[in-house]
Amino acid sequence: MKPLKSRRPLQIAILTAVLLSSVTTLSSAASASDSTVAYKQFLNDKYAITLSDTLSKGDFIIAVSRILKVEAKDQTNVFADVQKDSPYYKAALALHEKGILSEGILQGDQPLTQLQATFIALKASGLKELAYTYPEDKIKAALAKVHIDYEQNNQLTRQAAQELAAAIDTGLVSSGFEADAAANQSFANDLLGKILTFNNQYKHYIGTTSDDDIFRKINDAWRTEDLISSTDLRSVFDEALKQNLITGYNLKDARFDANFDPKLSLTYGHSDITHAIQLIGLLRSENIQAKVQLEPKTSAFIYLKEWGEPTQSDDYQVVQIENGNFIAYAKEYDIEFEFDNTEQKNKFQQVIYQYAKKNSKDQTGLIYSSWWQPLYYSLSEVNDYKVIANNKVNKGHYYAQSFSLSDKSDEVVAGLKKINASLNVDSYKFWVDEPFYNYLLGDYK
């Protein structure tokens, strides 16, 4: 979204499919820092799940089906003690169809034990095949970690012992596990959060600002990004550019979305990776602690013919349009930060204004490649930030978005729908730093 020659374009890119599995996977150090409290908040924010401290097996089954977003195709009742009017009916059938519950007796109204919850979580996490590889010596060693003597325990079948052993070794349950104890809210939230993690539905980040290897991870992620080329989205938004309906747009890949807590997170956009490295170093020097996710994006904007013949590369490509101008597609990134608390989130702007915002042509004392109008925004309200709109269209796991002033959003949405009447345009407000707001008003400085 950078039509002016005086400012480097906002650009966008995609990490390759090979990197997808590694970059979006939580690092062991990062995942260890997530607490049950964080899981509880995430479950409430993303899935409207709030558990009581007295749980039935059915309550947990409903929660698991909700986070997995599953519904049964076959409505044949396979449970002898569950009727169609039961609150557990649909969830139980869905989990049975997924191989998470066995047919027979559900006992949905019975109090949930830690052992029952663990069996469900193990299968919901996609770990049952791993469990069934366990020979007796591995079962015995794993169960000893939670003070269970497998040879003396007659309550566990071999299959049940395998499932529990795999749950212990993969960290689903810890040394404080008690098989027959009630699964309270804390225990259940922890299991639900880990189910989300195993299914790649929890927070995605490559590390934290304090990690020793965070700079390597940022460089590795950037080095393997490519331009996003979602043809359907590009055709619509390119036409919007030609009609001057928008001044630019971003293409992003939802598989890299951080899923951070909106109240604690900010998104910071830029085009130069050295700037990102120095920015994280700057935050470290200011004792600002945050999780870090690098989200690839590609930025599209009009390149005017009077600017001269554009130089193309793997990271910067242009297509000439009818009036002789070009549409440029350029590699960029968003860094998503989730701060430890709101005080650190609020401090971020002070640090940017002092060390990463250009105010004069020859200004010194700034980190590398600082912009006149740095771009960062929050999905929750922040004091001294300005409200603007995002106009977003999803296509599979890709999406295109164009920022606009709030009073221009209806016009952008109507224009996009005129180009393609079938579009579902999601328009919503968010909070952006004032310099970028001024940029949208036409002030390149």
Structure confidence by residue, pLDDT tens digits, 218-247: 999 999 999 999 999 999 999 999 999 999
Q: What pTM did the predictor assign?
A: 0.85
Q: Alpha-carbon distance 429 to 439, whole Å?
A: 17
Give the H/E segment covering residue 235.
helix 231-242
16 — pLDDT class (breaks 50, 70, 90)? very low
- pLDDT for 444: 66
The long-range contacts involving 126-131, CB below 8 angstroms and separated by at least 24 positions, are 126/198, 126/199, 127/166, 127/167, 127/170, 127/172, 127/198, 128/99, 128/163, 128/166, 130/166, 130/170, 131/162, 131/163, 131/165, 131/166, 131/167
The mean of the pLDDT values for the chain is 91
155 confidence band (pLDDT: 50, 70, 90):
confident
As a whole-number percent, the residues of the chain with pLDDT over 90 amount to: 88
Q: In the structure encoding, which two tokens stand for residue 424, read together? A: 């579902």
Angle made by CA atoms 356, 358, 362, in degrees to the nearest 5: 120
Give the per-residue pLDDT at 445. Answer: 65
Backbone φ/ψ region at 200: left (φ over 0), alpha (ψ -120 to 50), beta: left
Confidence of residue 34 (pLDDT cuts 50, 70, 90): low
Q: Which residues contact 378 (CB under 8 A, 6 or more apart)?
A: 262, 265, 266, 267, 345, 385, 430, 431, 432
What average pLDDT does range 71-78 have in this prediction?
A: 91
Q: For residues 300 and 339, give the distance between their C-alpha atoms in angstroms, rounded to a whole number.
A: 30
Judge whether 10 and 2 are in contact, CB under 8 Å.
yes
pLDDT digits (tens, 9 = 90+) for 412-433: 999 999 999 999 999 999 999 9
Distance CA 134, CA 369 (A): 54
Q: Which H or E element spans position 120?
A: helix 114-124
Residue 96 has pLDDT above 70, yes or no: yes
For 383, which DSSP code?
A: T
Check: CB of residue 16 under 8 Å from CB of residue 225: yes
User: Is a pLDDT exceeding 60 seen at residue 25?
Assistant: no
Assign residue 392 a region: left if phi > 0, alpha if psi is -120 to 50, beta otherwise? beta
What's the gap between Cα 26 and its chain centre? 11
Residues in a beta bridge with 251: 298, 400
Q: How far apart are CA 91 and CA 69, in angstroms?
A: 10
Pull the structure tokens for residue 391.
Answer: 């106009």
Measured in whole angstroms, the distance separating CA 214 from the mean position of its chain's CA atoms is 18
Q: What is the DSSP code (8-state) at residue 124?
A: H
Contact criterion met (CB below 8 Å) for 416 and 423: yes
Q: How far apart, in Å, do the first and last CA atoms of the chain sit?
A: 15
For residue 36, the model assigns a pLDDT of: 86
Distance of alpha carbon 342 from the chain centroid: 19
User: Average pLDDT, stretch 183-208?
Assistant: 96
